[in-house]
Every structure is written in structure tokens, then in C-alpha cells.
Structure 1
């Protein structure tokens, strides 16, 4: 699909009433300084209306109250998706057009948010968008993915790389040119711009998922009705920690929640997954053939 990539100029500062993007950041133990840096970047973006800090940490940090953000302290860790849903519901109630879900450990040039929103306005079929994402060392993160089958995740997590490289490369679309815009069914929740209209149609994050597959599930539901787009014209840096590879309790959480995901969508006999993935691979092949 071809997208309108035109950009019109807009003042760096706009009236608050004209800003149409809310942002939520879920905190679980991250330092005040790290999140304050991200808040500073967001406040420089011309399209941001309200920033929500949803704190799942054990201890409240009162310093957030001084940063002109909406700080919401939960009594316990309620999970990633459920915490973001609190802020998203505020966006719905306030008639905000777009909502950004952003991890605390990302950095970016503030003006990219204007470019993203303008691109989504020009292409109303887009329900969710993810930019190009790099590691702090400059390496690309391969986050354009097919919908996972159980073997994809088992292979990636538990088998030697030399046995599974071909399968994982296909799952992560490594043969795809990451300089191309693509309608892809699985977008990462580390930096995800959501159209509120799409969320009102398909629902918010599924709160049965405490952590990890909530972005797969939401991307998939939006993808059924809208384009879920990888947009490489802008980029961010994400210090991706892959916690489930380092901490046993996070691995257990990952496995339990992926079981819930496959119980919801199907394990082997998921025909919709096969159809969506086949369509995505055809799009990738068409882009290759156009060169």
C-alpha cells in the first residue's frame, strides 16, 4: 500500500487545545532521572497534550508531582497493559485523537512526534504506528514481526541460534528492507502511537496479559481493521534489556502470559495468523520486486 508522506510545516509551539497526542509511561522501579529526561523530550514536542506517569513501583516518588505531568500511583504492580489502559481511558474521555505508549528507556528527537502525527493524519487508515528503533550502540532492532507461532518463540528462547536462525529471521522479517514503510501485524509496545478511534473499535490492552504479549495481541486486533505501520522515516533509541533472558521470574511471567496468548488465539490451528502472515510476506516480496 502506498502512503501519503507529505508534511506541512507547523510551529514548534502550538496552543494546548490544538495538541492531539497524549502519552503514557509505565514506571516499575526506573529512576526518577531517567523518566525526567524522557518527560523533558516530550515537553519539547509540539503535539503533546498530556503526559501520564502510571507508577507500578512499590514506593511513590513525590518528585514526579513537580514535573507538570499526571502522576498516578497504583497500590501494586497491576501490569503493563492495565496500567497504560488507565491513561488511555483518560485520552478517550478527553476526546484526544492519538495516544502514545512509550517505555521509560527510550530517547528521540522531539520533532519526530509531529512527523508521526502528520503522517497518521494524512493516512487515516493507520490505527497504530511504530518508528525505526535502534539500540544505544546504533544497531538496528528487528521489531517488524510476523504474528508468532508457538515454535517461533520456543525456538528463539530455548534452542541454539544455529538451529533456528532461518526461522527466526523470517519471523523478524530480517530479509525486509527496514528503510521501507510496511503494514506489519506485530508492532513493539516500547514506542507505539495508537489512534483512539481504533482503540474504541477493538478495545484497549487485554488486561489478562500481565506483561509481554499485550502488544502482540493489541497490534493483531487493530490490524484486523486498520493498518499497523512500521514508519522508518523517523527513529528512536531503545535500551532494550530483554529482562526475561536474565531473570528467572521474568521468564516465568513471559511463559505464563504467552500460554494465555495462545489459549486466546490458537496454538497450531490458527488460520487467521497464517493468512495475515502470508499477506505480510507477500507485501515484503512486492516491495523487493519494485526495486
Structure 2
């Protein structure tokens, strides 16, 4: 199998999800798509008619990472490359072929993410440094836009050239094109994180041994909404994820974070 992909769903719009499914299946490569449905009912099953789709109804919501781990914990279920795919992503035919060839030519790359755009064509800044406690706290709670903008400029690597390839310590989990052999070695998502931050943790672990690349020669569309900014429940989930991540890696004393971030800024900062 060339590429497998997994979409974890929870009460997603049929129209949005169908675009993600169609985008992935529109390829000449050997593919398989897993739909892990955390929804309270199995209505999404109706979209899964293609023989290349395996639908798995969980009958509970154990979280984003736990859903993906249903597949990632069993390497026999994954292709040579495995795509962690959000249900709100769409892309053109040929995208998977280009990413496949990129990984074939760059054996030291463990994860690659393309350029990510809003539906209106605007760039999404999804290449990030490893977050500090200050980054997360101020982004969630600071009422002053000027301060948030300064945090974003640094954390989201807005100082860099998003038209060039970059080796990034934290790539968004909306589209993670992973090498199966790397997942076998590094491991799957940490299920201590229900949602938000599980991608930070996994990409950081991969980045310690392999390149984790932003590849802007390919682009995708992400119908992104900051759910935690609109719901107190999701905000609380986000807070718990940040606390778990910082407890795991270190709040103030995380020398590895400082080293990785400083190396990244020196390499990609546009003077």
C-alpha cells in the first residue's frame, strides 16, 4: 500500500467531510482511507461507500489522538506513508503524488506538511516554534491584540519566508504526511492529550531524530475555525492539553525547547 490516511470525525458536516474524502481518493496511487467516527451516531457511514474506505464506529469520543491511534498502533494497517488528515481539508489531484515523491527522495524526512491556505487563498501560518508557557497563556487569555500579534509573529514563524522549504519543530496536525517506519520507531500520539497539542508533542518527538519539513511547492485548503475561541468547553480542553504538555516537557526548564527554537530562528529569520 502506497498511502493510507485516517480521518477522525465527530459530528462533522457531510458536505465538508465529503470534500476531504474525495480529495484523498482522487489519486492513481494505491490508497486506503480509514474513517474513525467518534460521533454519537453512525450517520457518517453513509459517505463510506468506496471500497477503499474502512469505516470504524467508536460509539464514544476518546479524543483526536486516541482516534488516530486506532490505526497508528497497528503498523500492519498503515501504508508506506500514513496521512493524518483533518475532516475539513481539501486538495487537488496530484497533491498526494507530489508528496509521495518528495518523501521518496528525502529519506531523512519523517513528516511533511504542504502550504496551507484558507478557502479565500490567504496563507495559514501553521509552521511553529515549540510553545512556551507564556506563548500559550497569552494567546488564550491576553485581551490586547498588539501583544497577541507579537506572540504570533514569533511562535508562528511569521519572520520566515513561507515560500521556501523549512525544517520546522511544530507542524500542524491538520495534515501530517508521515513515514510509517518513523512511526514504528517514534511511536503514536500521546493519549494523555484529548485534543490540541497532541500534534505538538508528536512532531517534536519526530523532529528530534528526523527532519519535519514544510514543503510549499504543494498547497491544500483548510476550512479552519478556532473552536477553542468559541466554546468554553473546548477552551478548557485546550488548557488541560497545554498543562499536560508542559508537565511532560517542562515549564521553565526545557533546555531542549530553547535550543531547538533558537536554531530554527537563526536559520530562517529574514533580516
State the distance in 2 between where 1:33 and 1:168 align.
31
Contact 1:42 1:48 in 2 (8 A): no
TM-score, with structure 2 as normaliser: 0.95
The answer for unaligned runs of 5 or more in structure 1 is: 1-18
Map 1:149-168 → 2, pairs under 5 A: 149-159=132-142, 160-168=144-152
The residue matched to 2:221 in structure 1 has which SS? strand
**Deviation of the 1:60 alpha carbon:** 0.8
Unaligned runs of 5+ in 2: none
C-alpha RMSD of the superposition? 1.4
* Partner in structure 2 of residue 23 of structure 1: 5
Residue in structure 2 matched with residue 266 of structure 1 by the alignment = 250
Distance 2:151 2:227 in 1: 23
Deviation at 1:65, TM superposition (A): 4.3
Deviations 1:102-158 (A, max 9, x none): 111111112111101100110000000111001112111111100000101112222
Separation in 2, partners of 1:56, 1:86: 12
Decide whether the 8 Å contact of 1:24 with 1:53 is kept in 2. Answer: yes
Shift of 1:101: 0.6
Q: Give SS of 1:104's match.
A: coil
Q: Deviations over 1:55-76 (max 9, x none)?
A: 0000012314423210000020
2:71–2:78 CA contact under 8 A, matched in 1: no
What is the alpha-carbon distance in structure 2 between the residues aligned to residue 197 and residue 181 of structure 1?
A: 23
In structure 2, the residue matched to 1:224 is 208
In structure 2, what is the equivalent of residue 129 of structure 1? 112
Matches within 5 A, 1:82-161: 82-90=66-74, 92-94=75-77, 96-159=79-142, 160-161=144-145
- Distance in 2, matches of 1:201 and 1:74, equals 27
- TM-score scaled to structure 1, two decimals? 0.89
Q: Secondary structure at the match of 1:194?
A: strand
Which of 186, 194, 214 is the matching residue for 1:202?
Answer: 186
Q: Is the 8 A contact 1:144 1:173 kept in 2?
A: yes
Q: C-alpha distance in 2, partners of 1:101/1:49?
A: 14
Whole-angstrom CA distance in 2 between matches of 1:167 and 1:64:
40
- Partner in structure 2 of residue 56 of structure 1: 38
1:79 aligns with 2:63: yes
- 1:47 alignment partner in structure 2: 29
Residue 238 (1) aligns with residue 238 (2): no
**Separation in 2, partners of 1:249, 1:164:** 22
Instruction: State whether residues 5 and 83 of structure 2, in contact with CA within 8 Å, keep that contact through their aligned partners in structure 1.
Output: yes
Match 1:276 to one of 256, 260, 264: 260
**Deviation for aligned residue 1:32:** 2.8
> C-alpha displacement at 1:224, in angstroms?
0.5
1:79 offset after TM fit, Å?
0.4
Could you tell me how far apart the structure 2 residues matched to 1:94 and 1:249 are? 33
Contact 2:167–2:211 (Cα < 8 Å) also in 1: yes
Task: Mark the CA change 1:51 to 1:95 in structure 2 (over 3 Å): closer, same or farther.
Answer: closer
